[in-house]
Structure 1
């Protein structure tokens, strides 16, 4: 049996939900379906919340940026989240050896950057040449991330937002799960097909799923991570220039005695050495902390030690004691809970200027690979790694007043 609708959206992450929201809001007569390969529990993708020992925690996407995330703030207001809690980001780097001045280093790197001379370099290649290996290692240690290293140097310098890895800026809390479920309720249950993994898009826009279902439509919107985009659009080499990278959030619940020690040592976002990288208090009264927030090599190293067992809890006790200058055999962890994302964020490889005149042209082509196929998500935005990027990618291909795909 074949199901026919006007538009098929592949993926129920925040980009897919936002696209469906705009269709439903501005063009209520348009018929559409969202095909999601996972169960309903995973709606929202990398934007969700969970509960751990009575504490609400984020599973993927973290916070919003008050002065940058305009679309996200508007979406929150549209769904009744009027005054999200605001706070200042001011990372504690006191446990690092010789942390570097990130803002001053970025000024130095921008001053020496030559768009023609350095056009084919990744940020890591360019920054190492400019700063030297030792200073570069201090830089990566001080930022708390490595998700910019293999990105186009120009993109990292001017669009990554390195200042957000430093003091001081205003952030706001997002109730991701509540936002996602409000979007779900608004869009309507009948528009969702969960546990429907799309495996092929034919030239006539026939869509086939793993369980043998077939759908036909006039427009296809792909709202997935880059691995799925490549699978569904194998004849488009442009997607080889976009890469995904792993991220990990790891939480721990401490005994009352250990929680008091953690409270003294970690009062706010704290950047430490590898492999934990970042430690964040979630609920100091309940002794719940995010004890690792990391990416790439450190994330893939720790992914083998995420089961909540005595061996792994002891491992993290030792890593925390070492990272926070706490005497050995002091901390005691009751439980751990993790969220490992094989693709947590995306980045652009150095731009091939023989094929694309600018990053803007590259993004337009990546977002519109064919006349009736659209690709959205933070992967194809200028705000990679942020929910705002996912929303921006939708705005880039929609005309809001009548939802005509550009």
Structure 2
């Protein structure tokens, strides 16, 4: 038995998270370097007045920055803990470090320099929010932390010319969009793999049932039709069970993709009686599930008409073609054909098999049903279905 193993990484953004931690450790090194320079600075230079009013506390805060960066970097890179609470904690720590600048640094210094953790390190919080919650959250966080930093430095009047705001905004939006794109791509890949596995399983099941139970039921139906009494009843019941089994196979749960498409060829093959000749392309043809359902129903209706009206010994043929911009299904029989005017009479009598079950269904899905028939030339239906937007590349 053929088995298809479906294995897709659960988190498509994991490479982003791991790459972001490389940036995090670089920003830690920069923050330590900036601390070394700033803690030894004087206000003004040469005055002997240190820039930091509480240098020891500033070093404790830098130690907190280093410890948190190490812990969060490992957690993010290896998914050791749930990310949402970690990101919220990171935001709180970042805001507190920025605000602590007013406590440990003299105003004469921080009014003209970066806040304590440095804008470079603050970017980590923006990156984390963007990767977790997307571009809008990332952009808002970038602008919010930038405005907080400018407020601490009392530099709101430079908000237009300062580069901090556009940089953090760009980082948040860009990484958020990138994370959403790869997540979407991973979902589509996962759905495609699951659909392929489900299609293979349906085809395998259809082959096994077709080669066994369906052929036996079809044989009983044909033999019973030539007999009387209980044998005829058994043939009729076998025919009902054959049709029910074909319907069950055709409706076997297919794993829908992002756009809820279904493979047309395998659905058709599952419902076709054993004595109907089928020809189709080697490649799978994916169409919206609702469209496939209607097409299969139309084919079943046509074949039912063949069985009832085409005459004894009539054979049916089904041809599936993928023409790129449209899919064409041709259902032909070599029976007696439909006499001129017969369809109009049937519609006038209230029998809507052709007008509703065939042409009506095709119109509902944006398609067209063309009929070519006549006495003693058989009947041929051409079902044309144009591919909608985004379907042109649906073939495997």
**TM-score range relative to shorter protein:** under 0.3
Q: Calculate the TM-score normalised by the size of structure 1.
A: 0.20
Query: Which of the pair has the greater relative contact order for Cα pairs under 8 Å at 6+ separation?
Result: 1
Q: Which has the higher helix share?
A: 2
Q: Calculate the TM-score normalised by the size of structure 2.
A: 0.20
Q: Which has the higher strand share?
A: 1
